Amino acid sequence: MYNLLKGKKGIIFGALNDKSIAWKVAERAHEEGAEFVLTNTAPALRFGDTHILAEKCNALIVPADATSIRDIENLFKETEKKFGGKIDFILHSIGMSPNVRKKFAYDELSYENFQKTIDISALSFHKVIQTAKKFDAINDWGSIVALSYIAAQRTLFEYNDMAEAKALLESIARSFGYIYGREKKIRINTISQSPTPTTAGSGVKGFDGLLDFTERMSPLGNATALECADYCITLFSDLTRKVTMQNLFHDGGFSSMGMSSSAMQLYNKSLECNECDYKNQSELEK
């Protein structure tokens, strides 16, 4: 441990269970000397394990639906009360698509669901930052991080309307990063993380195949939730004060790859199999 966050205070959104990326960030932030408030929706707090994490990290839990300005305002008020002053960092680790959950295909989307996806997974980021600014809740040189995915730039089968949500999320980091940086020296970045086996991640159809593919394609292998937490800690620390308005790939190199030897080998093998199947089929038909 390096005491990288000694004396720093923050808010962490999205720790549901010990698989959650936010859970690992909270554990690492605690180890690095930070104090923080944990928040999630009331139902997630009822069904999830956040209370276990709160006990472990000596953190206050404040329920908030990140789509509700009222809830977010209450969260900042309670946080200010708890710490008696401003905070230094915020983690936005929130994602949910009712279209993915209810298995609506991208070319048969429910627009009502689509709006919810955008509100929960992207606009909530704007709402949190705008409320923080309104309350002047963050110290100068503070840091805000949200978690994104490469589907913002490239089309990935079955990621559905979450792709649009992530594109908007990354754009909000740039647009607000300019304003908050100029006025308060506060930095805003997104981390584009490898596929990670969490509750949200595993909800994407074909997730196991995707995980194997990206593992094969990434020279350093997939980045784990704990490794993502380590990266978040550096972004909350004073070692990255001039990094802002960036979408930072944390994916073992996947985003720069076209084809790898390991993926090619598997692809060739499956072609051979297809050929065998085809030959066997032709034999049978004779």
- The catalytic residues are 149, 159
* Contact predicate 10/36, CB 8 Å: yes
Please, which residues bridge with residue 12 across strands? Answer: 38, 91
* Residue of 97, 196, 222, 247 that binds ligand NAD (CB under 6 A): 196
Identify which range of 53-61, 80-88, 102-110, 141-149 contacts ligand NAD by CB under 6 A.
141-149
Does 16 interact with ligand NAD (rule: CB under 6 A)?
yes
The amino acid that residue 196 corresponds to is T
DSSP state of 66: T
| One character per residue 79-118, x = contact with ligand NAD (rule: CB under 6 A) | --------------xxxx----------------------
Identify which range of 99-107, 174-182, 195-203, 214-222 contacts ligand NAD by CB under 6 A.
195-203
CA distances 162 to 25, 168, 255, Å, are 22, 10, 18
Residue 215's H or E segment, with its range, is helix 207-217
Beta carbon nearer to ligand NAD, 195 or 252: 195
Query: First and final CA of the chain: distance in angstroms?
Result: 69
| One character per residue 54-83, x = contact with ligand NAD (rule: CB under 6 A) | -----------xxx----------------
CB of 143 to ligand NAD, least distance (A): 17
Identify which range of 2-10, 19-27, 81-89, 102-110 contacts ligand NAD by CB under 6 A.
19-27
Rounded Cα gap, residues 25 and 228, in angstroms: 8
Q: Rg of the Cα trace of the chain?
A: 21
Among 27, 40, 12, 50, residue whose Cα is nearest residue 230 = 27
Rounded Cα gap, residues 81 and 84, in angstroms: 5
Tell me which residues touch ligand NAD (CB under 6 A): 13-14, 16, 19-22, 40-41, 44, 65-67, 93-96, 120, 147-149, 193, 195-196, 198-201
